[in-house]
Amino acid sequence: MPKLTQDSCPTLTANLTVLYDGACPLCRREIAVYQDLQPVDAGQTLTFSDISRADSALPLGGVRSDYLARFHVQLGDGQVLSGAAAFVALWATLPGWRYLAFAARLPGATPLLEVVYRAFLRIRPQMQGIAKAFEAPRVSKALAGDLRSDQAGETGAVWIYRGLLAVSGNAGVREFAQRHLKTEQVHLDNINAVLPWPQRSRLLPGWRVAGFATGALPALFGPRAVYATIAAVETFVDQHYQHQIDKLQNQPEHAELLKLLRECQQDECEHRDEALALQAQPPGRLLRAWCKLVGSGSSAAVALARRI
Ligand SMILES: [Fe+2]
Ligand SMILES: [Fe+2]
């Protein structure tokens, strides 16, 4: 195993091999910046090695997962530097960046940089997820609008059941809500999986609040109001999904999405039918007015989510 150093700051070296994780979108972007630069001294060579590739060579005795976990450079004499020391060694070879390397070599600066780097490594998986989401191919504008409305609806659905559970003490309502909440969370996860992150609804906090209120308010009035509300919501959602299914059913390129929407619609219809079956008696005038308001609110939310 070559000597691994995290704290030392080497002087300029004639040959430097940069070992980077090409599967990481953050690393790729940073390395692309360095690759566009020529080393300051003509006698230096800078080699970039994507060690995420199984066929790429590693320093003798090295374990790939260890090298992927941190940034490394290998000097011409075989010494391997890791983390902040590796960055400083690389920066020292590059025009512009060498001044940063000079600053990093001031007393205490490289250890401080190492602390910052370790803190970054802790949030690296989350940042990689965000970067990958931004790199994911976008869906068409029209499809994104429809999927955004689905995302808003499923977010609202999840929070309706959370609202019910926050308020209702009725055992039947709570069992109903817990079961349906699981299904709605699966719907939301599946819709999120096909809607690239940058195209998602920017009004999610609003859909959560609206959903929570739509569940919590009827829960204050008992099971009859709860089941009438769920039946009204799911009646709307069934029609909403049917509208999208009609648009997509002659587009073979969207066969997978069509399957997903049909599965969601099937679940929503079961939710609606279950809620209708649990209604002990038909809703009165006030409850009918509330259900109408829920339907109009859902319609307005869909229109808004298609745009934002
Ligand atoms: Fe759903
Ligand atoms: Fe549902």
Q: What does the pLDDT look like over 201-229, one tens digit per residue? A: 888 899 999 999 999 999 999 999 999 99
Report how far apart, in Å, the C-alpha atoms of 274 and of each of 42, 180, 301 are: 76, 10, 24
Residue 296, pLDDT > 90, answer no
Residue 4, pLDDT > 80, answer no
Q: Ligand 1 centroid vs 178 CA: distance in angstroms? A: 13
Q: Are 153 and 302 in contact (CB under 8 A)?
A: yes
Q: Ligand 2 centroid vs 170 CA: distance in angstroms? A: 20
Residue 133 neighbours by CB under 8 Å, 6+ apart: 196, 197, 198
Residues of the chain with pLDDT > 70, as a percent, come to 95
| Cβ burial, residue 94 (10 Å; 0-12/13-18/19+) | buried
Looking at CATH, the fold of the domain delimited by 139-307 is given as Ferritin (1.20.1260)
The pLDDT assigned to 138 comes to 81
Q: Ligand 1 centroid vs 201 CA: distance in angstroms? A: 16
Residue 26, pLDDT > 50, answer yes
**If you average pLDDT over every residue of the chain, what do you get?**
88
Radius of gyration of the chain (CA): 28
The whole-number average pLDDT for the span 50-64 is 87
Give residue limits of the domains in the chain. 4-134, 139-307
Q: Are 134 and 167 in contact (CB under 8 A)?
A: no
φ, ψ at 24 (rounded to 5°): -95, 120
Q: Ligand 1 centroid vs 300 CA: distance in angstroms? A: 17
Ligand minimally distant from the alpha carbon of residue 269: 2
The pLDDT assigned to 171 comes to 93
Q: Ligand 2 centroid vs 286 CA: distance in angstroms? A: 23
φ, ψ at 17 (rounded to 5°): -110, 125
Helix 141-167 with 223-248: angle, nearest 10 deg: 170
Q: Ligand 2 centroid vs 187 CA: distance in angstroms? A: 9
The pLDDT assigned to 151 comes to 94
Q: Ligand 1 centroid vs 125 CA: distance in angstroms? A: 29
Residue 154, pLDDT > 80, answer yes
Q: Ligand 1 centroid vs 183 CA: distance in angstroms? A: 7
Q: Ligand 2 centroid vs 280 CA: distance in angstroms? A: 20
In the structure, what pLDDT confidence band is assigned to residue 7 with cuts at 50, 70 and 90? very low
Q: Ligand 1 centroid vs 214 CA: distance in angstroms? A: 15
Closest CA to 184 of 259, 244, 264: 264
In the structure, what pLDDT confidence band is assigned to residue 264 with cuts at 50, 70 and 90? very high
pLDDT, tens digit (0-9, with 9 covering 90-100), for 132-147: 777 777 888 888 899 9
Ligand minimally distant from the alpha carbon of residue 177: 2
Q: For the sheet containing 80-82, what is the strand order?
A: 4-5, 80-82, 72-75, 15-20, 45-50
The pLDDT assigned to 280 comes to 77
What's the whole-model pTM score? 0.65
Q: Ligand 2 centroid vs 268 CA: distance in angstroms? A: 4
In the structure, what pLDDT confidence band is assigned to residue 13 with cuts at 50, 70 and 90? low
